[in-house]
Chains A and B, each alone.
Chain A
């Protein structure tokens, strides 16, 4: 074979799960030594395609060619042998093992560990130098930052002689600075002749780092273009199939009296203080955005305000009246009665009961309302009627109240939660990760709803790890890091760099960690 054979060539890959055709006749070719992006909405079939390439699933039809050779990949062992490595969105590391131990795990040379570890340590040092992947081989994983853990994942693949690296949403858990470092590493790897496939939904990353990009929609690969010859709006249009508004359209806020006031709030979980004395206020007609890398106390903040967990200290008032944050006399239902709506961060484990049908979910948390009950029994007819009404007004598709929540797409699941929590026009709306795993069309819709609620004079606390979303929606931005609020900024007086540094805990100018 000539050296010009593509690193990966997929020919007519098809795969269905039951009635759903996840991949339909997909052909793709990635040249060696390039970075190839794959974008598409949730459920477009990106993950399925990569799972086929990595041997998790077997394609119903089609062929995989690696370096010009037909290579069947029935399992992940074959994928590793073919030189394919995958870095998952959720790392597969043993938390209390050291870096070296994690790297050799599953690739030990024999029953005794000592020779393998010695060999791995030497190789790791070489690899680290070669690719600029600096990691202490003897550090324990749980002590490393998320960015460094990701490096270990990459090193693990390189140690297994991977020539083709698949990265699935690699920046989801990184600060902007860490993401930048990752991109520098990927460029190094590319320069050394590695081939990289980057799966992401962030168009900015595609534009920044990839050479070519493929767009997937509804199981099909609709376009493959050179990155230099396209633009984010064009990519978005290819993904959704129609023109979309990437920018949120809104008028300046007109905040009036204070709705929510939080003073010196402290929250502990599992013996660790997660929120370390934060204070802020939200006024009517205002959106306060909380930016931050996941796991810096935002979840606990939302859960305390939503009545799910107890705080360990501090004071919270709604319109000047105290709210019980000790967890003794309050829960989600008493919060709702006070006019606090709550769209939780995780719709699948919190906001919805996945096996429940839509009409049951639309009453969830409000199931004691008089209008859903008649005497001792629940009024199913009233619940269904309410669901039909909300589905129509919030554009939930398919508008079938009898469908279990798990059978809706991510975006439509989120619309069900949003409809339930926003429709009562709460005085204060807590909303966490409103568009995580939601398709672009639904993102646009949900953003419009949030702005509309603000324009009705309601207060909104928005928590999101998507900086674009925070900057697009918020009237004020607070950045959380390690349980503290690092500072507040106005969206038109700051930029991604400044917020990114604050998210990494950097207050003054100093080198990134």
Chain B
């Protein structure tokens, strides 16, 4: 018998974890002499109180959906892809290369090309650590982290020396042509009140599509079946004739591809050029998103929304309550990651005990003999 109902595992535990994180955050805010209640209000209002707030929250959420899915897919094969940061950066490089070098007639065609190139570049960046893991047993956690630094350095070099517009002081590429600008929220959802300044763009729908795709892949296809089998037991996978090298490679390519696609949202959808450090930690937030979302696409969307709100609400908080510095906002975000990811068992154990005692009491009342 499972220890507790599924709804408790999927909804109740993350909810309690977030509440605990907020309580501790509130304490921290109180310690520096501000009102936690007021800070809370500012954050919620900032994230969800206006079309402008929503525009930012969903924009951030789009990033986190991609990086969260990337980590989630790898998790299913019990691979810990910490390289989302680097894979997304290189994915951005792919987007910039294809958008700058071809005269695209329309944004739809360009979007398809951007998807292909961002995914291919991200996958290629994941391929080397994947190969080293599959063939040499080099731990993927170590190699993907190292590849983040290499990606970062590579991008600095390219933006400063190769892609920088002549005469410009900024380490960024040329702007993409008008034709490839993605529709912003104001264009397709202006009736909801989205203005021109919110960065939410068409990529949001690509992210949702990716969720459907990942769900189909993991739970409906043979490949997903093999990935999950391999993730649960490598010896069993070998017994069933599943090639561990192949599954490790394919899973990491898909994971890297998803992380790379995050660049579409920022590079093509928002900045409309390749800028330095555009990933801004989304690759790492993806780990928390996947953990909190239980590696399920629906969970990933919900967790991405939460972290999007934290990002946007945190920015508002900084703006409206100057005593709460940027570092303070990072502390709050970190507390959420800590409670939902690392301290998961702290909430889980008491909840399991609670549900067990509940069931035992029910069974005692029903006077049933124990299950075999």
Cβ B370 vs Cβ A308 within 8 A: no
**B277 interface hit (Cβ, 8 Å):** no
Given A307-B241, A367-B226, A378-B225, A351 and B236 contact (CB-CB distance below 8 Å)? yes
Cβ B235 vs Cβ A349 within 8 A: yes
A18 to B, closest residue via Cβ: B356
**B229 interface hit (Cβ, 8 Å):** yes
Cβ A409 vs Cβ B372 within 8 A: yes
Picked from A350, A355, A367, the residue with its CB within 8 Å of the CB of B235 is A350
Q: What string of 1s and 0s marks CB contacts (under 8 Å) between B344-372 and chain A?
A: 00000000000010011001000000111
- A308 to B3 alpha-carbon distance, docked (Å): 34
Cβ B359 vs Cβ A349 within 8 A: no
**A353 interface hit (Cβ, 8 Å):** yes
**B197 interface hit (Cβ, 8 Å):** no
Given A307-B241, A353-B229, A19 and B363 contact (CB-CB distance below 8 Å)? yes
Instruction: Enumerate chain A residues within 8 angstroms of B2, measured Cβ to Cβ.
Output: 404, 407
B229 to A, closest residue via Cβ: A353
Stretch in B16-24, B49-57, B67-75, B216-224 with 4+ CB within 8 Å of A: B216-224
Cβ A349 vs Cβ B370 within 8 A: no
Cβ B370 vs Cβ A21 within 8 A: yes
Cβ A20 vs Cβ B222 within 8 A: no
Instruction: Enumerate chain A residues within 8 angstroms of B238, measured Cβ to Cβ.
Output: 308-309, 331-332
Instruction: Enumerate chain A residues within 8 angstroms of B229, measured Cβ to Cβ.
Output: 353, 356, 364
A364 to B, closest residue via Cβ: B240
Stretch in A170-178, A199-207, A333-341 with 4+ CB within 8 Å of B: A333-341
A389 to chain B, nearest CB (A): 20
B237 to A, closest residue via Cβ: A353
Cβ B1 vs Cβ A332 within 8 A: no
Max count, chain A CB within 10 A of own CB: residue among B225, B228, B229: B225
**B243 interface hit (Cβ, 8 Å):** yes
**A16 interface hit (Cβ, 8 Å):** yes
Q: Using a CB-CB cutoff of 8 Å, which residues 334-375 of chain A contact chain B? A: 334-336, 342, 344, 346, 349-356, 360, 364-365, 367-368, 373
**B239 interface hit (Cβ, 8 Å):** yes
Q: What string of 1s and 0s marks CB contacts (under 8 Å) between B1-25 and chain A?
A: 1110000000000000000000000
B357 to A, closest residue via Cβ: A18
Given A368-B222, A378-B220, A350 and B239 contact (CB-CB distance below 8 Å)? yes
Instruction: Enumerate chain B residues within 8 angstroms of A409, measured Cβ to Cβ.
Output: 372
Cβ B1 vs Cβ A407 within 8 A: yes
**A483 interface hit (Cβ, 8 Å):** no
Q: What string of 1s and 0s marks CB contacts (under 8 Å) between A110-151 and chain B?
A: 000000000000000000000000000000000000000000
Q: Using a CB-CB cutoff of 8 Å, which residues 185-240 of chain B contact chain A? A: 216, 220-222, 225-226, 228-229, 232-233, 235-236, 238-240
Cβ B371 vs Cβ A19 within 8 A: yes
Cβ B240 vs Cβ A365 within 8 A: yes
- A282 to B220 alpha-carbon distance, docked (Å): 40
Cβ A16 vs Cβ B241 within 8 A: no
- A332 to B243 alpha-carbon distance, docked (Å): 10
**A1 interface hit (Cβ, 8 Å):** no
Instruction: Enumerate chain B residues within 8 angstroms of A354, measured Cβ to Cβ.
Output: 232-233
B226 to A, closest residue via Cβ: A367
Cβ B220 vs Cβ A377 within 8 A: yes
- A185 to B241 alpha-carbon distance, docked (Å): 46
A138 to chain B, nearest CB (A): 36
**A37 interface hit (Cβ, 8 Å):** no
**A484 interface hit (Cβ, 8 Å):** no
**A252 interface hit (Cβ, 8 Å):** no
Picked from B228, B239, B371, B372, the residue with its CB within 8 Å of the CB of A332 is B239
Cβ B240 vs Cβ A333 within 8 A: yes
Cβ A349 vs Cβ B233 within 8 A: yes
Max count, chain A CB within 10 A of own CB: residue among B216, B220, B233, B241: B241
**A306 interface hit (Cβ, 8 Å):** yes
- A349 to B239 alpha-carbon distance, docked (Å): 9
Cβ A334 vs Cβ B241 within 8 A: yes
Q: What string of 1s and 0s marks CB contacts (under 8 Å) between B270-282 and chain A?
A: 0000000000000
Cβ B222 vs Cβ A16 within 8 A: no
Given A18-B3, A219-B370, A306 and B232 contact (CB-CB distance below 8 Å)? no
Instruction: Enumerate chain B residues within 8 angstroms of A219, measured Cβ to Cβ.
Output: 370
Instruction: Enumerate chain A residues within 8 angstroms of B371, measured Cβ to Cβ.
Output: 19-20
B51 to chain A, nearest CB (A): 39
**A320 interface hit (Cβ, 8 Å):** no
Instruction: Enumerate chain B residues within 8 angstroms of A352, measured Cβ to Cβ.
Output: 236
**A266 interface hit (Cβ, 8 Å):** no
Cβ B220 vs Cβ A19 within 8 A: no
A360 to chain B, nearest CB (A): 7
A160 to chain B, nearest CB (A): 33
Cβ A332 vs Cβ B240 within 8 A: yes
**A218 interface hit (Cβ, 8 Å):** yes
- A380 to B372 alpha-carbon distance, docked (Å): 28
Cβ B240 vs Cβ A19 within 8 A: no
Cβ B239 vs Cβ A351 within 8 A: yes
B368 to A, closest residue via Cβ: A19
Instruction: Enumerate chain B residues within 8 angstroms of A106, measured Cβ to Cβ.
Output: none
**A376 interface hit (Cβ, 8 Å):** yes
Cβ A356 vs Cβ B232 within 8 A: yes
A379 to B, closest residue via Cβ: B220
A306 to B, closest residue via Cβ: B239
- A148 to B141 alpha-carbon distance, docked (Å): 42
A347 to B, closest residue via Cβ: B236
Max count, chain B CB within 10 A of own CB: residue among A18, A356, A378: A18
- A352 to B236 alpha-carbon distance, docked (Å): 7
Cβ B236 vs Cβ A350 within 8 A: yes
Picked from B216, B233, B363, the residue with its CB within 8 Å of the CB of A353 is B233
- A478 to B3 alpha-carbon distance, docked (Å): 46
- A20 to B372 alpha-carbon distance, docked (Å): 7
Cβ A364 vs Cβ B236 within 8 A: yes
- A306 to B241 alpha-carbon distance, docked (Å): 9
Q: What string of 1s and 0s marks CB contacts (under 8 Å) between A305-336 and chain B?
A: 01111000000000000000000000111111
Instruction: Enumerate chain B residues within 8 angstroms of A16, measured Cβ to Cβ.
Output: 360, 370
Cβ A353 vs Cβ B241 within 8 A: no
Instruction: Enumerate chain A residues within 8 angstroms of B225, measured Cβ to Cβ.
Output: 360, 367, 378
Q: 7 closest Cβ contacts across the A-B interface? A: A332-B241, A333-B241, A365-B240, A331-B241, A21-B370, A350-B239, A377-B220
Q: Measuring CB to CB, which residues of chain B are less than 8 angstroms from any residue of chain A?
A: 1-3, 216, 220-222, 225-226, 228-229, 232-233, 235-236, 238-243, 356, 359-360, 363, 370-372
Q: Measuring CB to CB, which residues of chain A are less than 8 angstroms from any residue of chain B?
A: 16, 18-21, 218-219, 306-309, 331-336, 342, 344, 346, 349-356, 360, 364-365, 367-368, 373, 376-378, 380, 397, 404, 407, 409
- Known A19-B359, A354-B233, A360-B225; 10 more pairs at CB < 8 Å: A18-B1, A218-B372, A331-B241, A332-B239, A334-B241, A351-B239, A355-B232, A365-B239, A367-B240, A377-B221
Listed A/B pairs (30) with beta-carbon separation below 8 Å: A18-B1, A18-B360, A19-B356, A19-B359, A218-B372, A219-B370, A309-B238, A331-B238, A331-B241, A332-B241, A334-B241, A342-B239, A349-B233, A349-B236, A350-B235, A350-B239, A352-B236, A353-B229, A353-B236, A354-B233, A356-B228, A360-B225, A364-B240, A365-B239, A365-B240, A365-B241, A378-B220, A378-B221, A378-B222, A397-B372
